[in-house]
Amino acid sequence: MAGVGRDGSQAQFRELAANLREAIVSGAFAHDGRLPSEASLAEEHGVSRGTVRQAMALLRANGLVTSRRGTRRVVLGAARTQSFFELLSFTHWARSIGDEPGGRTVDVQHRQALPAEYEQLQLEPDSSVYRVLRVRTLSRVPVMLERTVYPESIGRLIAEQPRDAVSHTGPLTDAGIVFADVTHTIDLCPADADDALLLSCSEAAPLLRERRRATDPTGRPLLSSDDRFLPGIVSFTVHNSAQQTALSRRRA
């Protein structure tokens, strides 16, 4: 994990950010909605101003505070941003909202990659990939269909998992696979015949689609996935400040 030492200690600025987040959520600055100055926070926590600013950058990116020259930072709200893993993994997400995640593997294929697949995974055209189709449940109710494509080396580990394994990211991280970056693309798509059958909806019913592409710290693609949610199960929230943009809107 980033910023974590061998002993498991967090970087100072992460710890400071976590403390401030907790203080904000608990309403510690509710009287005027303003944070203490950087200088006073630095002194109070025994760190330099640079460290305070790193912590603030995290809070800003997460939409908790805004800032401008000349005045103290202002609390925007107690936006509940999730960890990297709660976004990457259905299992982590379900647990974070206090629900019970489930998974059932419907199909595993080990085939030569299609053009779209070897391009997404940056493989040679004749590479083979694993395709895994899973039904994901919340409280035993099917809510999402997950079609994931893995490169050979990763897929081999997945194929070993039992069909009722809840998490697939878990075994991967246990095997030393490190997820570093993910790109999520969100749109709407109609259910195809398989979707309809496995999610118990009618064909052409609208689904919320989240396509994910994950890479490891070296930039190597680890997986490419097409996840389709029944309506009313999830929504996605993004914070976006004039300082920094990470979301983009594309013509579909």
* Sole window of 20-28, 83-91, 100-108, 150-158 interacting with a second copy (rule: CB under 8 A): 83-91
If one asks whether residue 217 binds DNA (CB under 7 A), the answer comes out as: yes
Helix, strand, or coil (residue 155): helix
**Residue 167 contact among DNA, a second copy, none, beta carbon within 5 to 8 Å by kind:** none
Question: Of 200, 202, 197, 158, which Cα lies nearest the Cα of 177?
Answer: 158
To a second copy, the closest distance from the beta carbon of 109 in angstroms equals 26
Which positions from 19 through 48 interact with DNA, judged by CB under 7 A? 35-40, 46-48
Place of tokens 């689609």: 209
Please work out the total of residues on this chain that contact a second copy, with binding judged by CB under 8 A.
69
Site string for a second copy, 129-148 (x = CB under 8 A): --------------------
Helix, strand, or coil (residue 41): helix
CB closer to a second copy, 32 vs 164: 32
Spatial separation of the C-alpha atoms in residues 228 and 211, rounded to whole Å: 9
If one asks whether residue 83 binds DNA (CB under 7 A), the answer comes out as: no
**Residue 82 contact among DNA, a second copy, none, beta carbon within 5 to 8 Å by kind:** a second copy
Site string for a second copy, 1-40 (x = CB under 8 A): xxx-----------------------------x-------
Considering only 16, 75, 144, 158, the residue that binds a second copy (CB under 8 A) is 75
Whether the CB-CB separation of 39 and 2 falls below 8 Å is answered with no
- Burial of residue 68 (CB within 10 Å: 0-12, 13-18, 19+) is exposed
Neighbour-count burial for 107-118, b at 16+ CB within 10 Å, e otherwise? eeeeeebeeebb
Angle of the 49-61 helix axis to the 12-25 helix axis, nearest 10: 50
If one asks whether residue 93 binds a second copy (CB under 8 A), the answer comes out as: yes
The DSSP code for 36 is P
**Residue 58 contact among DNA, a second copy, none, beta carbon within 5 to 8 Å by kind:** a second copy
What is the distance, to the nearest Å, from the Cα of residue 132 to the centroid of all Cα atoms in its chain? 19
Whether the CB-CB separation of 202 and 210 falls below 8 Å is answered with no
To a second copy, the closest distance from the beta carbon of 146 in angstroms equals 14
**Residue 179 contact among a second copy, DNA, none, beta carbon within 5 to 8 Å by kind:** a second copy
Annotate 190-212 with DSSP letters as a single string. Answer: E--HHHHHHHT--TT-EEEEEEE
Site string for DNA, 172-201 (x = CB under 7 A): ------------------------------
Q: Which two tokens stand for residue 81?
A: 């941003």
Please work out the total of residues on this chain that contact DNA, with binding judged by CB under 7 A.
33
Binding site for DNA (CB under 7 A): 2-3, 5-6, 11-14, 35-40, 46-51, 53-54, 56, 67-73, 217-218, 243
